[in-house]
Structure 1
Amino acid sequence: MAYLLCLPRRLFDVPYATVVTDRHGELLGARIAADGQWRFPPSDTAPDKFARCLIAFEDRHFYLHNGVNPAAILRAFVQNVRARRIVSGGSTITMQTIRLSRGERRTVGEKLVEIVLATRLECRYSKREILALYAAHAPFGGNVVGVEAAAWRYFGHSSAELSWAEAAMLAVLPNAPSMIHLSRNREALLRKRNRLLRELHRQGVIDDADYELALSEALPEEPLPLPALAPHLVADFQQTRPGERIVSTIDKGMQSQVEAVLARWHAEFAQQDIRDMAAIIVDVRTARVLAYCGNARFDERQPGSQVDIIRAPRSTGSILKPLLYCAAMQDGDILPRTLLPDIPINVNGFAPQNFSLQFEGAVPAAEVIARSLNVPSVVLLRRYGVPKFYDFLKRAGLTTLRRPASHYGLSLILGGAEATLWDVTAAYVDMARCLEGQPRIPLALAADEKQRRSTAPYVFTPGGVWLTFQSIKEVNRPEDIDWRTIPSMQTVAWKTGTSYGFRDAWAVGVTPRYAVGVWVGNASGEGRPGIVGARTAGPVLFDLFNLLPAATWFDVPGDGALVEAEVCRQSGCLKGRFCDASDVVPICPNGQRTEPCPYHIRVNLTPDGRFRVYENCMSEASAVPANWFVLPPAWEWYYRQQHPEYRPLPPFMPGCGDDSDRPMQFIYPQDAFARITLPRQLDGTPGVVTFELAHSDPNATVFWHIDGNYTASTRDFHKLSIHLDPGLHTLTVVDDRGHTLSATIRVEAS
């Protein structure tokens, strides 16, 4: 019984290095073991060439004995007596494996223990397994332990690729690693290696050609650095799976190309003091990550270089706008080309601006997303609902929304929230997989991850995704060329984002085969004028797509994902009674519930078309009915500056007007009852409030009244800046034709 229990259940209780390979087993990188040794996790087998060299050098009867070779021990005893010192131990490979596991001093008593344990080891393990244990734990000089680590440190490749000369050198190294080392006694090491090669040739293990070639190989000069691809990923696995050999999903060739692209762009951006960059590439069909570059300069050891940006929460900028567009279309809030207002707005002090600092009055929803206009996006979010979109984003997989929806407010769509490049890219992968009819599964980084179908269903619908991708594939590309005219350029649905203060630049793109995410900026959060998505992350994105095989575009989804509808060509709404031009376009089924076009109305004109009239003002035969496209006054004022073809409604014929006609609209305040907080000036005194109005008649004069008292008049640009005391006030405006408009304002001191 004592014999059966004498061998520990775990023979080697030592820490191992964390080793990460690509999906084909190619080494990406490793992190040293906790005891400072380069000791790779053991394999099930020893490399064939190394095993044959080891047996020929150390234990030619390895396959014949049961762990102990009495003849070898007797021979060693005689040699030691004659030399009056220990010159040979007579140990078999099995006995040496036991000695490596115990780490005790070499004494006669210890030798007896090794003999007993060696026979016990042969009972538990096969010869193949014993060779593997020895190969994984033998010393190879310095802090290199195990043949796999030695192969990489001395020859720069795996042990499976060892040449006969390399295998022979490694076979003789454990015999006396402290005496025979690459940096000293090289001649002795070379003699031992060549002597072993000669023995292999004599035994017929290697032929004449292999023998001559092996003899001609030089010894390595010094240990080589291990590969250092995907260093942030390797560091992450060191934290989560220390001491393991992890087969990742990374493709080594693609990873190398991605890192080269990022290194080139980093050198260019560094001149603008933009120091950090990250990128990820995902196979859409499998949801497995093919390239993972957490930062472009891991080895520089500069502040921020060790930060894995892919996992770091960063301000989203505009990168979430397509998700809002998709959600609103799926729920039937808008159609693809529904006009959204692009006018100055101020919601409780939040006054977003477009990147161009210009307004266009009204812009189709698809164009809003393609051009990344801020103001219409805020209007859309306000219409859709912040809590509703907040919940949508959480269900889409954004894990960084840790505060309530009210904390973010309308800024949620303009970078008021943080997200990781991992989560954002995963959301776009989900969209592509949903459109392709594939189940929802999480992204994977390790080959042994079980990508089980997510219990949470997609928040996207195939129809909503297809319409969204149709919009963002039209985004102008950084090359400033018409990509549609170049057959070699693949179609990509993509979006950029730039955070407030030019701190984060994003670009995410997707095809049916791949999704690519890019972030550019400074890990420290320092802003720079050049950190703009379209100027930095965008060019990097398309350089990465140029590395990838092209794919045909997504098919139009079936099974009722889209329905055809007749929509007004000018407003993008469902065709109304008075719409003259229309198109039949695909929309999401819920879009059928949207209201018909409210912007086309029927009017009666005088025969010369100069005035509007009512039927009772002119005989039916004389009135000329017409359908007219009319935008709200605040929209119209900006819209007609960009659209010279837009025709404002003619005024009513004198004596045939209508007091209910509303040619004016407040831009600020937008609501009939508004709450305004007075800003403080630098000296601490209350600031002024600026009111703004749009009038459909560019020549109109507007008279402003506060609390019933005349204050000022304006013409052309209708703005009024005024000091108001805290409290309730009434704002009334009257134009020179007698039209009036009022709003109630509660002013509060800040």
Structure 2
Amino acid sequence: MSSSPDRRRARLRAAALRIGAVAALYLLCFRIAPRLSPYAGQAALDSLRFSVVVLDADGGELQALPVGDGLRRLYVPAASAPPELERLVLRAEDRRFRLHPGVDALALLRAAAQNAGDGRTVSGASTLSMQVARLLSPRPRTMGAKIAEAWEALQLESRVGKSGILDLYLNLIPFGRNVEGFGAAARVYFGASLDRLTRAQLMVLCVIPRAPARYDPAESPEAARDATLRLAAAMGDDPARAAEATDEALSSALDGSRGGVWPFRAPHYLAYLRSSGALDGIDGKEPFRTAIEPALQSWLEDLAARTVDEARAKRVTNAAALFVRPSDMRVAAWVGSVDFHDAEGAGQVDGVTMRRQPGSTLKPFLYALALESGWDASTVIPDVPTDFGGAEVYVPANFNNQFNGPVRLRQALASSLNIPAVYTLERIGVEPFANFLVADGFRSIDEQRGSLGLGLALGNAEISLFELVRAYGLFMNDGIPAALNDGGGLSPYAADEKAIVDPRVAALVRDILTRHPDRTLAFGRGGHGRLKFDGAIKTGTSNQFNNIWAVGFTSDLLGGVWMGNFSGSTVVGTADSGYPAAMLSSTLEAFSSHEPFPPLSGLEKRRVCALSGMAATDACPHALEEYFLPGKGLLPCDWHGSGPSGVTVRYPQEYRTWLSRYRYASASTAKTADLRIARPVDGAVFYLDPSAPIDGQEFLVEAFGSGTGSLSMDGVTYWSGAFPAKVWLPLIRGAHIVDASQDDGSLTEIEVETR
């Protein structure tokens, strides 16, 4: 009797061993071996990318970028998809999905029986896992390929699990119309996001992947209806209600040729983001949010088009605009042309990144460097007829063809006077100014070093609107060069960026640009450059008038506008920068807060003579307050004096020609002056023009002094007579000493070099 329980226990142990062996075999065949063996589709799985959905600052869609060849694939996590969708997909494609390991043996047996009985393939028995394996590793439809898909389905399931397989299927399955996945299909077939579709619309989508051309609800509504109703029947839906819901869903289907399904906003900005690498490494599973402000973007697109239409009579055919928020330099609006789709007008050219001559818009940077080099806002600069250059004499003129004599640096910048700018650059040096511009982000300047000259003061180098607007951030961000911020968590500043000018200098330049009364020398008291609130507009025109610019800012908005044409072959015909200035002015009016800038800090106010810029004395008829760095020494004005007939004025010798031109009989020039070589500056470097004969290439030396004297180079006298002196000396390769001497024995010298 005791042996019976022993036999039962033995049988139970044997059964347990058999079950364990089967389980072990199952795990080995369907889990361990697939997991440990190399997976052919791993590279495709790892590199899987979805359409990057780029959003504006308010969350509106700018574009859903194709993943390649126009194909769009919108990622929708399976967990976020409508719950009904999973049930519909599994009923339509793989009802035992939750039970099999990736291959459905029962479905294989059923398919084999059906195919054998019919004499052809009527059932494929592919599970969702096998379909995903085929999507990741496409192969010709052969029996060997089917076996490979089955094995790879097991491998996939062992790696990503059931939820991962479902997620991949919902996002990779092809739907025709150049889209993959249910998210993109919902957009092209019904013009809505997946979560807004009805149950019937979801069922229509579920049948399309079987044969997208055959079941297209717009192209083949009857076939799509029959397939959808079969799915509804399989789901146990009431036939009458299912038919009504299906008909309603089919009536809402979009024609495949219908446009506007995919938003195409800010196209030049999106092209920039792609080319700049800002979207590199983004897999598209999360949207990329930019700082584009939709209202500002639309405003500028419309305003640019209207302004170009108004200016066509002056042969202006295009415009571009870039606006940023200076607090973090985030890009708020980017308009590359008036019509991206205008092939005849080269609308796909991006005027924001295109390089053109910027005219006077570079002057603030020149004077910032001058202030950083020890000049003051009251430093007087001669605005008199002047020639610059060597073999080819450069004679700049002001916008209004007038000469204003002595002007303070503040006036020269605010009124955008040309001659003072060139005079300043000659003393500061082209190379230091080019270095300064490069440090502030003008990379294009670095590529043009061999061709730069004094014309750089007037913007004869080619730069982009992108560089210009970014560089103006220097005056809004304490003298630190600022990178543009594209949103998406990008930092507006490089970690190692440091101020290239004293923050107080940056603020002082900003103050000069925003003080409208200082503009009256050239612009009068009106015009678009005069804002009704705290802000500034700086205009520029290239020397052929084929590029007109305006750049400006308030405390919370910085932007620039370019107008002209992309061919560069036609001209505007007049230096009318009023068009871009008007665009800029109205935009600043509409989209900035008009909050004033904070008061200048860290600077001292001093009273200076309005004419000489020196410390005002009782003899000075007009005095004003100016800002200086603390501790700055300031000599008393020696231009004004008192005599029997009242106040007398004595101008330095360099103003003699100007005084004669404008017949200032009551003024005089000094007969004596401290001996000095006014130009070139000590350490100046000149470059021989390789395209011109060496003989005849010269540089100008200008000297002031008292009485008579001489000018020499390397001991050879080139001039003698009464000061002031203006002499052309030959350019000779190498280093040279230029000296000026007076007959009283005084001597001064500078060193120059010719390369």
- What range is the shorter-chain TM-score in? 0.7 to 0.9
Q: Which amino acid aligns with 2:134?
A: R
Q: Is the Cα contact below 8 Å between 1:518 and 1:540 reproduced in 2? A: yes
Deviations 1:343-369 (CA, angstroms, capped at 9, x unpaired): 110012111011212212233332322
**Match runs of 1:437-452 below 5 Å:** 441-445=482-486, 447=488, 449-451=490-492
What is the distance in 1 between the residues matched to 2:228 and 2:525? 62
**Match runs of 1:446-525 below 5 Å:** 447=488, 449-451=490-492, 453-474=494-515, 490-525=533-568
- Taking a change above 3 Å as real, the CA distance of residues 541 and 730 of structure 1, as seen in their structure-2 partners, is same
Q: CA deviation at 1:547?
A: 4.9
SS of alignment partner, residue 434 of structure 1: coil
Deviations 1:308-366 (CA, angstroms, capped at 9, x unpaired): 3322332121111112222323443122x444321110012111011212212233332
What is the distance in 2 between the residues matched to 1:432 and 1:52? 57
What is the distance in 2 between the residues matched to 1:302 and 1:339? 50
| Aligned equivalent of 2:13 | none
Q: Which amino acid aligns with 2:397?
A: Q
SS of alignment partner, residue 299 of structure 1: coil
- Taking a change above 3 Å as real, the CA distance of residues 243 and 143 of structure 1, as seen in their structure-2 partners, is farther
| 1:396 pairs with 2:416 | no
What is the distance in 1 between the residues matched to 2:486 and 2:450? 35
**Match runs of 1:395-414 below 5 Å:** 395-402=439-446, 407-414=451-458
- Taking a change above 3 Å as real, the CA distance of residues 647 and 581 of structure 1, as seen in their structure-2 partners, is farther
- Taking a change above 3 Å as real, the CA distance of residues 2 and 67 of structure 1, as seen in their structure-2 partners, is closer
Q: Is the Cα contact below 8 Å between 2:548 and 2:563 reproduced in 1? A: yes
What is the distance in 1 between the residues matched to 2:71 and 2:347? 25
Q: CA deviation at 1:414?
A: 0.5
| Aligned equivalent of 1:714 | none
| Aligned equivalent of 2:34 | 3
TM-score (norm 1): 0.74
- Taking a change above 3 Å as real, the CA distance of residues 637 and 195 of structure 1, as seen in their structure-2 partners, is farther
Q: CA deviation at 1:747?
A: 8.8
Q: CA deviation at 1:529?
A: 2.7
| Aligned equivalent of 1:222 | 256
| Aligned equivalent of 1:564 | 605
Q: Is the Cα contact below 8 Å between 1:332 and 1:589 reproduced in 2? A: no
| Aligned equivalent of 2:135 | 100
Q: Is the Cα contact below 8 Å between 2:349 and 2:566 reproduced in 1? A: yes
SS of alignment partner, residue 605 of structure 2: strand
SS of alignment partner, residue 289 of structure 1: strand
| Aligned equivalent of 1:312 | 354
Which segments of 5 or more consecutive residues in structure 2 lack a partner in the other structure? 1-31, 682-695, 697-701, 703-715, 732-755
Q: Which amino acid aligns with 1:367?
A: Q
Deviations 1:251-307 (CA, angstroms, capped at 9, x unpaired): 262434433332333333445332332221222222222222333332112364333
- Taking a change above 3 Å as real, the CA distance of residues 222 and 503 of structure 1, as seen in their structure-2 partners, is same
What is the distance in 2 between the residues matched to 1:273 and 1:650? 48
| 1:188 pairs with 2:223 | yes
Of 55, 61, 66, 1:22 maps to: 55
| Aligned equivalent of 2:306 | 264
Q: Is the Cα contact below 8 Å between 1:100 and 1:138 reproduced in 2? A: yes
Q: CA deviation at 1:552?
A: 1.1
Q: CA deviation at 1:376?
A: 1.7
Q: Is the Cα contact below 8 Å between 1:261 and 1:544 reproduced in 2? A: no
What is the distance in 2 between the residues matched to 1:536 and 1:144? 44
**Match runs of 1:329-728 below 5 Å:** 329-335=371-377, 337-348=378-389, 349-402=393-446, 407-434=451-478, 441-445=482-486, 447=488, 449-451=490-492, 453-474=494-515, 490-530=533-573, 532=575, 534-558=577-601, 560=602, 562-576=603-617, 578-579=619-620, 582-589=623-630, 592-600=632-640, 602-605=641-644, 609=645, 627-632=647-652, 635=655, 648-649=666-667, 661=671
Q: Which amino acid aligns with 1:604?
A: G
Q: Which amino acid aligns with 2:541?
A: T
Q: CA deviation at 1:248?
A: 5.4
Q: CA deviation at 1:429?
A: 1.6
Which segments of 5 or more consecutive residues in structure 1 lack a partner in the other structure? 610-625, 652-659, 672-685, 687-691, 693-726, 734-739
Q: Which amino acid aligns with 1:588?
A: L
Q: CA deviation at 1:139?
A: 1.2
What is the distance in 1 between the residues matched to 2:356 and 2:70? 37
What is the distance in 2 between the residues matched to 1:516 and 1:350? 32
| Aligned equivalent of 1:681 | none
What is the distance in 1 between the residues matched to 2:448 and 2:81? 61
Q: Which amino acid aligns with 1:554?
A: F
What is the distance in 1 between the residues matched to 2:310 and 2:648? 53
Q: Which amino acid aligns with 1:535?
A: G
| 1:86 pairs with 2:116 | no
Q: Which amino acid aligns with 1:175?
A: R
Decide which moves more: 456-465 or 42-51.
42-51
| Aligned equivalent of 1:656 | none
SS of alignment partner, residue 540 of structure 1: helix
| Aligned equivalent of 1:139 | 174
Q: Is the Cα contact below 8 Å between 1:311 and 1:421 reproduced in 2? A: yes
What is the distance in 2 between the residues matched to 1:142 and 1:410? 58
SS of alignment partner, residue 57 of structure 1: helix
Q: Which amino acid aligns with 1:444?
A: N
| Aligned equivalent of 2:739 | none
Q: Which has the higher helix share?
A: 2
SS of alignment partner, residue 366 of structure 1: helix
| Aligned equivalent of 1:612 | none
- Taking a change above 3 Å as real, the CA distance of residues 327 and 575 of structure 1, as seen in their structure-2 partners, is farther
- Taking a change above 3 Å as real, the CA distance of residues 234 and 649 of structure 1, as seen in their structure-2 partners, is closer
Q: CA deviation at 1:468?
A: 1.9
Q: Percent identity?
A: 28
What is the distance in 2 between the residues matched to 1:380 and 1:153? 61
| Aligned equivalent of 1:621 | none
SS of alignment partner, residue 544 of structure 1: helix
- Taking a change above 3 Å as real, the CA distance of residues 99 and 358 of structure 1, as seen in their structure-2 partners, is same
| 1:234 pairs with 2:261 | no
RMSD of aligned C-alpha atoms?
Answer: 4.9
| Aligned equivalent of 1:736 | none
What is the distance in 2 between the residues matched to 1:503 and 1:179? 56
What is the distance in 1 between the residues matched to 2:98 and 2:60? 32
Number of corresponding residues: 662
Deviations 1:167-208 (CA, angstroms, capped at 9, x unpaired): 4433221121132235632222244446657877949xxx99
Q: Which amino acid aligns with 1:48?
A: A
- Taking a change above 3 Å as real, the CA distance of residues 317 and 448 of structure 1, as seen in their structure-2 partners, is same
Q: Is the Cα contact below 8 Å between 2:529 and 2:581 reproduced in 1? A: no
What is the distance in 1 between the residues matched to 2:510 and 2:529? 15
